[in-house]
Structure 1
Amino acid sequence: MVEGEWNGDFDPLADPDERKHILSVLDSFRSYRRFAHLYGTHARRQAFYSLPSSHWHLLSQPPFSVLDTLSAVDDLIDTNSALAESIFKVGFQGFIAPTLDSEWVASVVDPRHATNEYEVYSTIMDRMNVKATQIDIDKARSCVHQFYRDWSAEGAVERSACFSPILSALEAEFSKQPIELSSDPSNKADIKILVPGAGLGRLVFDICRAGFTVEGNEISYHELMASSLILNHVSKPQEFTIAPFALSSSNHLTRADQLRTFAIPDVHPATELETASEGLRVHAGERMSMSAGDFCVVYNSPEYREHFTAVATVFFIDTAPNVIRYIEAVRNCLQPSGIWVNLGPLLWHHASRPQPSNEESEGVRASGKSVDAGIGDPGSVELTDEEVVKLVEHFGFSIERHETGKIETGYISNAESMLQSTYRPSFWIARKR
């Protein structure tokens, strides 16, 4: 189990804008079923019946059976919705429920639904009158599909390509320490590893299972709520079933490819960590934690100065508008001679984001908010891999290993699709001088 839920001193509910955003995220998971049916099948049925009647009559019969396919997709949307609504309940319990007055809740909830958590929370959400933004709806859908990569048995192909080099580098580095970790695995608990951009928590889990002490960091409430569900609240392996490709109707060889389902999680995290703790002096529950917040702000603070032995980033550094801010945060929180292991492409996420006007910038200053806005700072830049590596060296790191073109991986890829997108990520190990 993750120690606690989310660490950190920041209270997001104290900020009205942050509270509104959390409610939007919660509603995006709650609304997954409705919007998936609306855009996934209802709109397609309308388009189908807009065909000439002779055409749609033909295509509704075998071997095409388009209407049967849409009915099957409807069923799979309901399957995915079970996961989305479970994330909604976990997120509501973690963020909203502790702030509620029990008498007020009793006054607004229909007694007939008092034992149904989803109905209770949904009733309260309706009273709060915050609806999910389109951006949050899209993120909720993407988050549900991401479970295929991080927590299904079939997703192990992508995980192995991205996580195995990280785990191998950590094992190789710390087996060279004065006390041989390979001969006494319990000593790994003294190695503190940070995983920024922890996402659904799988790499954090795998590093903890390997015996290290690990802290994940994540800024996305979608990912925080989803990772909490999978790490803290599932009761068994394969508790949920997802159909990650059902809502996409393009590039399928057969309908069976589109309608495939996958069981998640492939392992029960609590059981795996309990087994991994046998014979060790520090239980896995005390070696794994998750923090919520902006990586730049949290880990560039004096509190975390030289706190970690290693930092591991996977598909992360290109989420930075200004990668220098990430480098500064890693340098601050990493111990002298500590290593930064990175693997990922450079699909710069903020390349086209609008910049604040002079009036907006002045307004932020006048409001008294912190100058250090982390990834919210104005400006962005897109660098090449060669330039990123030179920048890392400039800020006090020695590059001990740098490989490009040797690793190939997709990202939530359908192996049966006619369209294949492949990343050839850069992999490097940098040591803080």
Structure 2
Amino acid sequence: MEEAGEWEGDFDPFADPEERRVLFAVLDSFRQYRRTAHYNVTHVRRQNFYALPSSQWELLASPPFLILDSFNAVDDAIDANAEIADKILEAGLAAYGLDNKATSPKAFNTQGLKATQHGASPSTARPAWHDTTTTRDLEKARSTIRQFYRDWSEEGLKERSDSYEPVRLALSKHFKHISPTSRHQIQILVPGAGLGRLVFDLVQDGYSAEGNEISYHQLLASHFILNRTTVANEFILYPWALHFDNHLSRDHQLQKVMIPDVHPAKALYEASQGHEVPASERMSMTAADFCVQYRSEGEESRFDAVITVFFIDTAPNLLNYIETVRHCLKSGGIWINTGPLLWHSGKEQRNDDERKPSEGRNLGIGEAGSVELTHDEVMKLLEYYGFEIINSEETAQAGYIDNPRSMQPHTFKPQHWIARNK
């Protein structure tokens, strides 16, 4: 896979002040992961614990409860997760030509500082991206790190299989006339590629797959896991440690998993054997607004298949997504979808990290207006836009970063459908 600095797409964060602000806030959210997690997760709980009557907190601090020991164990888990956050930050800074010591012009913030004949004093200058994050960005950093459980741990295999296997099976059936060694001819687009696992799996299956993602949190994390890990099971992750609700035991809360479950570079090398086109050349990523990037003239009728998994409900206006897929999908090409309809736009106000477009800029998914549709209405819309529904069915229940041992499982009944572009 190409390095993050070579991501394709209309996504230069330094060409637009708003993009620059968003990127800096995301970088800072990973920088502050350790400090804010320790404060919000354990420090505040210790304060509340010691506010109990002394007889009660002393009871709970003793065997068999050992609540203070549990707080210490959670602190250790936070530090392990923070190692991943630090590596994501390190990879992101390198990808965008920034550093952590304000020696890069892009990262410099000298406003209000005493200047020397060589510029700002190195002892006082700080990177412009420091202390720029928001509460929402911090939560997204925590969620992104937890998402490695779903996409890049052995324990997340079932959750991946529930979502990804119906897609892979549908592809193999639809393109059964293409031999495995010739699958590189099949061009697949995966919007909302997230941490890149589905794109990675499709390339291992022999296809040429292009992921698309707009979230800097996801882009930086996928770049780290795909390009910067050196062996399988390199990092320890505690996916549930920061959450104290609905655990049957502390052991469940402090479950440890290893990531990545495979070494991506090694796996791609092995997937290249016997193929005309190496796996690394069949895998790419665009960092851009899906509706802007793939409604452009150069993207018309490019792909044999578009795969959306837990994605279409991110659309404020699904009609824009449908029009975009129809534009970039070849005549006779297929759109395979698996996921729920948990419409994001109707549940919260604009995200802190959503772009505030410059004047005259194509807004893409940021255009005004939103609508929430039922599954039946989605099917009718597809037919209106000229798609033929090949198959539509409810799949087995599937989770999304779901703790299977929690007392409150969070699962969906995704709809799986296949539509052909006439």
Q: TM-score, normalised by structure 2?
A: 0.91
Note the C-alpha offset of 1:90: 0.8
**Equivalent residue for 2:206?**
211
**Equivalent residue for 2:119?**
none
Note the C-alpha offset of 1:17: 1.4
Give the match's secondary structure for 1:214: strand
Distance 1:252 1:170 in 2: 38
Query: Does the C-alpha gap of structure 1 residues 60 and 173 become closer, same or farther in structure 2, counting only changes over 3 Å?
Result: same
Note the C-alpha offset of 1:3: 6.3
Give the match's secondary structure for 2:412: coil
Q: Which of 217, 235, 241 is 1:246 aligned to?
A: 241
Supply the AA of the counterpart residue of 1:288.
M
> Tell me, which stretches of 5 or more residues in structure 1 are unaligned?
109-122, 356-362
Note the C-alpha offset of 1:14: 1.1
**Equivalent residue for 1:397?**
387
Distance 2:72 2:104 in 1: 43
Note the C-alpha offset of 1:354: 4.7
Q: 2:108–2:125: 8 Å Cα contact kept in structure 1?
A: no
Count, aligned residues: 402
Say whether 1:432 aligns with 2:413: no
Deviations along 1:346-381, whole A, 9 cap, x unmatched? 0001114558xxxxxxx97xx6423x3111111111
Give the match's secondary structure for 1:387: helix
Supply the AA of the counterpart residue of 1:29.
F
Aligned counterparts, 1:15-414, within 5 A: 15-97=16-98, 126-176=127-177, 180-181=178-179, 185-354=180-349, 368-370=359-361, 372-404=362-394, 406-414=395-403
Distance 1:22 1:368 in 2: 20
Supply the AA of the counterpart residue of 2:246.
N
- Calculate the aligned-residue CA RMSD, in Å: 2.3
Note the C-alpha offset of 1:186: 2.4
Supply the AA of the counterpart residue of 1:378.
A
Note the C-alpha offset of 1:284: 0.6
**Equivalent residue for 2:116?**
none
Query: Does the C-alpha gap of structure 1 residues 243 and 377 become closer, same or farther in structure 2, counting only changes over 3 Å?
Result: same
Supply the AA of the counterpart residue of 1:374.
G
Note the C-alpha offset of 1:331: 0.2
Give the match's secondary structure for 1:97: coil
Query: Does the C-alpha gap of structure 1 residues 305 and 103 become closer, same or farther in structure 2, counting only changes over 3 Å?
Result: closer
Supply the AA of the counterpart residue of 1:270.
A
Q: 2:159–2:399: 8 Å Cα contact kept in structure 1?
A: yes
**Equivalent residue for 2:9?**
8
Note the C-alpha offset of 1:96: 3.6
Distance 1:126 1:73 in 2: 30
Give the match's secondary structure for 1:22: helix
14-23 or 306-315, which deviates more = 14-23
Query: Does the C-alpha gap of structure 1 residues 18 and 2 become closer, same or farther in structure 2, counting only changes over 3 Å?
Result: same
Distance 1:106 1:306 in 2: 40
Give the match's secondary structure for 1:336: strand
Distance 1:410 1:101 in 2: 42
Give the match's secondary structure for 2:52: coil
The structure with more helix, counted as a fraction of residues? 1
> Tell me, which stretches of 5 or more residues in structure 2 are unaligned?
110-123, 351-355
Q: Identity over the aligned pairs, expressed in percent?
A: 51
Q: 2:193–2:213: 8 Å Cα contact kept in structure 1?
A: yes
Supply the AA of the counterpart residue of 1:165.
P
Note the C-alpha offset of 1:250: 1.2
Supply the AA of the counterpart residue of 2:388.
S
Deviations along 1:163-198, whole A, 9 cap, x unmatched? 00001111111113xxx41xxx22111110000000
Query: Does the C-alpha gap of structure 1 residues 128 and 254 become closer, same or farther in structure 2, counting only changes over 3 Å?
Result: closer
Supply the AA of the counterpart residue of 1:195.
V
Query: Does the C-alpha gap of structure 1 residues 105 and 24 become closer, same or farther in structure 2, counting only changes over 3 Å?
Result: closer
Note the C-alpha offset of 1:9: 4.1
Q: 1:3–1:285: 8 Å Cα contact kept in structure 2?
A: no
Query: Does the C-alpha gap of structure 1 residues 174 and 47 become closer, same or farther in structure 2, counting only changes over 3 Å?
Result: same
Query: Does the C-alpha gap of structure 1 residues 324 and 260 become closer, same or farther in structure 2, counting only changes over 3 Å?
Result: same
Q: 1:105–1:124: 8 Å Cα contact kept in structure 2?
A: no
Note the C-alpha offset of 1:105: 10
Distance 1:159 1:279 in 2: 27
Q: 1:239–1:265: 8 Å Cα contact kept in structure 2?
A: yes
Query: Does the C-alpha gap of structure 1 residues 60 and 126 become closer, same or farther in structure 2, counting only changes over 3 Å?
Result: farther
Query: Does the C-alpha gap of structure 1 residues 78 and 323 become closer, same or farther in structure 2, counting only changes over 3 Å?
Result: same
Q: Which runs of 4+ in 1 moved over 2 A?
A: 1-5, 100-108, 123-130, 352-355
Note the C-alpha offset of 1:421: 1.7
Distance 1:9 1:106 in 2: 21
Deviations along 1:382-432, whole A, 9 cap, x unmatched? 10111111111111100000002x321111111111111220000000000
Q: TM-score, normalised by structure 1?
A: 0.89
Q: 2:34–2:79: 8 Å Cα contact kept in structure 1?
A: yes
Distance 2:105 2:15 in 1: 20
Distance 1:421 1:352 in 2: 17
